[in-house]
Amino acid sequence: MIGKFIQWFFSPSKVPIVEEVDVYSKLIELQERIEALEAENVENNNCFYELSNSIDAVDARIDILTAEGLKNDVWRT
């Protein structure tokens, strides 16, 4: 039994180890995917900057309204 296992283990495989792959086409495909991801990354960064600017503007407006409310004593009822 061990002899059959050793013979099987060391016998050449009938299945090819590496399939035929067109490396150049895979490289082109990866470059296209990278370009698409970079473009999407730029769009996401622009959206994040717009959101950040909007939040900063709202925060500044809240600070102004709070200061005016305290100055005009609006908060007392």
**pLDDT at site 29:** 94
pLDDT tens digits, the chain, 77 residues: what are they?
Answer: 778 888 888 887 776 666 677 888 889 999 999 999 999 999 999 999 999 999 999 998 888 888 777 676 655 55
The pLDDT of residue 68 is 76
pTM: 0.51
Residue 74 amino acid letter:
V
pLDDT of residue 18: 66
Q: 25-59: string of b/e by CB count within 10 Å (b at 16+)? A: eeeeeeeeeeeeeeeeeeeeeeeeeeeeeeeeeee
